[in-house]
Amino acid sequence: MVGQPFIAGVGKLIAPEGEFTDLHMTATSVTRTQRKIRTDEIDNVVLSATLSGGGNGWFGHPDRATNLGGPLIRIRDQAKLYVLQWTGAENHTLHVELPLAALDSRARDRVLGAAGTALPPRGLAPMLAVQMRALAEAAPDLDSEGRAAGLRSVLDLAATVLRLEFAGEQPESEVCEDGMLIAAQALIRRRFGSTDLSPDSIAQRLGCSRAHLYRVFARHGLTVAGYLREVRLLKCREALARAGPRDTVGAIAFRCGFEHPVHFTRLFRQRFGLTPGAFKSGEDRIAA
């Protein structure tokens, strides 16, 4: 706003495959001019999510006005003009930037034609929003290898979302397998406490067959059931480590998706070398 200082905080992760930006800023105006486009020669597509704040603007043409903000991921073409007015006092946005060269010509044309609009909230797009948010939250506490792995996961998933939405790729195509694995793992980590979470429900949510889901995990030396079990056991161990006197082992196990206490105790002991009760009481805790 006029007379008020502009303040911004930027966190950026960069790899040859693309970039991720976590941006906090006060109210401001952003204009991408033809001169800027010629100077930097960037030919990328950006997928942006607004976590807080908002405003309005246009991408490519003034007649294509849009409201900024809300839960959807918006598509931006860095080779087009745009003017954005961020009017929120505190604006928090996340941006995934991918080179258009990563997409085939058909997908490229369709993505650029959709610039300024939002990704439909279906398929893997909501998963991408979750992964972007998770990377922003975790990045400050990760080492360089962790940040690089998180960035690759988000970039792979973003490319898969674009291929599925704009290139006519099928969820079960080989080119989408890495993104499908990332999405499946993200879904499991989010919903591990649901006792009805199963390979069938995961495959249905991702839009692929159960057989294809098995193949995707197998290509990486994993099984769906094994990955789900490991996530649940690790979450149980975390909960037990900080449990209070009134927190029972059975209640913690159920919150982490284990319905049968005896089965859970056997799995926990096999994985960590002692019973859940012994771990909760602090007896000989060991690392996984």
pLDDT in tens, 156-179: 999 999 988 888 778 778 778 888
Could you tell me the pLDDT band of residue 288, with boundaries at 50, 70 and 90?
very low
CA 19 to each of CA 45, 155, 186, 233: distance values in angstroms, whole numbers, following the listed order: 11, 8, 20, 33
| CA separation for the pair 28, 2 (Å, rounded) | 9
Tens digit of pLDDT for each residue in 233-277?
A: 999 999 999 988 888 999 999 999 999 999 999 999 999 999 999
User: Domain 190-288 is classified in which CATH homologous superfamily?
Assistant: Homeodomain-like (1.10.10.60)
Residue 18 has pLDDT above 70, yes or no: yes
For 52, the token pair is 């807080």
Q: Distance between CA atoms of 140 and 147, rounded to whole angstroms?
A: 9
Check if the beta carbon of residue 84 is closer than 8 Å to that of residue 114.
no
* 8 A C-beta contact, residue 171 and residue 206: yes
Residue 42 φ then ψ, to 5° = -85, 130
Does the structural domain 8-169 have CATH classification 2.60.120.10? yes
- The residue with greater pLDDT, 116 or 142, is 142
Q: What is the domain partition of the chain in residue ranges?
A: 8-169, 190-288
| Percent of the chain whose pLDDT exceeds 70 | 97
Quick check: 139 pLDDT over 70?
yes
Does the pLDDT of residue 211 top 70, yes or no? yes
Distance of alpha carbon 163 from alpha carbon 27, whole angstroms: 34
> Which stretches of the chain are assigned E, i.e. beta strand?
8-15, 18-25, 28-32, 44-52, 55-59, 65-68, 73-77, 82-86, 91-99
Q: Is 104:60 a contact under the CB 8 Å cutoff? A: no
CB atoms within 10 A of CB 61: 12
Q: What pTM was estimated for this model as a whole?
A: 0.79
Answer whether residue 3 shows pLDDT above 60. no
CA distances from 270 to 128, 241, 273, 285 (A): 34, 18, 6, 14
Q: Is 104 helix (H, G, I), strand (E, B) or coil?
A: coil
85: nearest Cα among 27, 46, 23: 27
More confident residue, 26 or 100: 26
Average pLDDT over the chain, rounded to an integer = 89
Is residue 232 predicted with pLDDT exceeding 70? yes
